[in-house]
Structure 1
Amino acid sequence: MTPNELNSPIEKLCFALIFAIQKLKHYFQSHSIHLVSKANPLKYVMTKPVLLDRLPRWYLQLQQFEIVYVPQKAVKGQVLADFLADHPMPVEWELSDDLPDEDVLVIEITPP
């Protein structure tokens, strides 16, 4: 299996949910949790016929809590944020604060 197949977006979302449960267990036990996301990891885990590796353990941990899935609504500005999150800048690229026309202080506009 390729690394992409091993760490699918659904599995990453499940892992994030498990991590939050481990850190905020007392809050999860006393409140109903609304999971707002594009994909429903709970449905994925529950409908998969064969669970391999970490998913069975995660499924047992998720069953203990009242988690309600709420689909994420599309937001126009969210498209750019999602693109930037999915395509991070390579490490070898360097950021530069140099502006090409840094020395221009005054611009004159002559009437036609």
Structure 2
Amino acid sequence: MAVNLYDTAYGLETAIRQSDEYRHLQEAYTEVNKDPQAKQMFDQFRQMQMNLQQKQMMGQNISEQEVQQAQSTVALVQQNQKIAKLMEAEQRMSMVIGELNKIIMKPLEDLYGNM
């Protein structure tokens, strides 16, 4: 009997949406978005993050000044309790996704790992 991988994937999507980790992430995100000051700080932080990631992907060097600015921005946004809670929830969700990815990739790892 053939397995439809897409049906399984959509089932996993539903399970993720119903998970405690996702629910906590959603609640934290809503709290940040309800607070104009926190939302502005978080949006600026995300923009800085995306700019640095884009530079890395394009092979551009990130200056020491940019690194220091990023570190001070992280320290500043983490002082906001709502943003700190959101970042913590993001990290937990990211860990779950990483663990799920390891499980999904296991058959290929088993196959190619034996060569």
Report the TM-score, using the length of structure 1 for normalisation.
Answer: 0.31
Which gives a bigger RCO, structure 1 or 2 (Cα 8 Å, sep 6+)? 2
- Would you tell me which structure has more helix in proportion to its own residues? 2
Report the TM-score, using the length of structure 2 for normalisation.
Answer: 0.31
- Would you tell me which structure has more strand in proportion to its own residues? 1
